[in-house]
């Protein structure tokens, strides 16, 4: 009896490895990268804000660093897509992830956003977004959209708009 060649086993090993790593994922942060949403592009442009920098985003006691990082990345991606991200800006948006409860058919994310200008706090508010979806939906995509929805709420908040006017 001959042994199967490595080249024949490689595809099977890749699939088994991918399946095993997918099953072992425990992070509540959506797996896919942030993308600019058409809805948030419009909201950011309509906000009438000047370009801002994105600072640190944390979670309480750094208990959920991946989720805080995803929120930061989502905000930066949405601002950049609208031409409103400027790392050298004097206005800096920072945040603290308050909660991230993302399941297979629903999710909610809450964060405290803080905007400083010249070292002075000009905006400090907690926002929350939630959504539900069908059981057969693309769960990582839907979970990512909850973060985008939260960023969209920031862009439409009149107090945020007043904090960083154009």
**Average model confidence (pLDDT) across the chain:** 84
Per-residue pLDDT reduced to its tens digit, 12-46: 444 334 333 333 333 445 544 456 678 888 999 99
Domain of residue 95, residue span: 28-163
pLDDT higher than threshold 60 for residue 105:
yes
CATH code for the domain of 144: 3.40.50.10610
The answer to the question of residue 52 being in a domain is yes
The answer to the question of residue 47 being in a domain is yes
The answer to the question of residue 134 being in a domain is yes
Per-residue pLDDT reduced to its tens digit, 40-85: 889 999 999 999 999 999 998 888 899 999 999 999 999 999 999 9
The answer to the question of residue 19 being in a domain is no
* Total tally of structural domains belonging to the chain: 1
Determine the Cα–Cα distance for residues 151 and 75; give it in Å rounded to an integer.
6
Determine the Cα–Cα distance for residues 92 and 123; give it in Å rounded to an integer.
10
């Amino acid at each position: 009896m001959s042994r199967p060649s490595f080249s024949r086993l490689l595809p099977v090993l890749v699939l088994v490895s991918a399946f095993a790593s997918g099953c072992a994922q425990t992070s509540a942060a959506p797996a896919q990268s942030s993308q600019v949403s058409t809805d948030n592009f419009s909201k950011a442009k309509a906000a009438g804000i000047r370009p801002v920098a994105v600072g640190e985003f944390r979670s309480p006691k750094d208990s959920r660093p991946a989720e805080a990082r995803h929120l930061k990345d989502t905000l930066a991606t949405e601002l950049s897509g609208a031409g409103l991200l400027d790392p050298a800006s004097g206005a800096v948006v920072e945040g603290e992830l308050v909660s991230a409860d993302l399941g297979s058919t629903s999710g909610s994310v809450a964060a405290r956003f803080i905007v400083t200008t010249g070292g002075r706090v000009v905006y400090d508010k907690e926002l929350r977004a939630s959504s539900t979806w069908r059981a057969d939906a693309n769960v990582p995509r839907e979970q990512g959209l909850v973060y985008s929805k939260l960023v969209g709420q920031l862009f439409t908040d009149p107090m945020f708009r007043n904090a960083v006017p154009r």
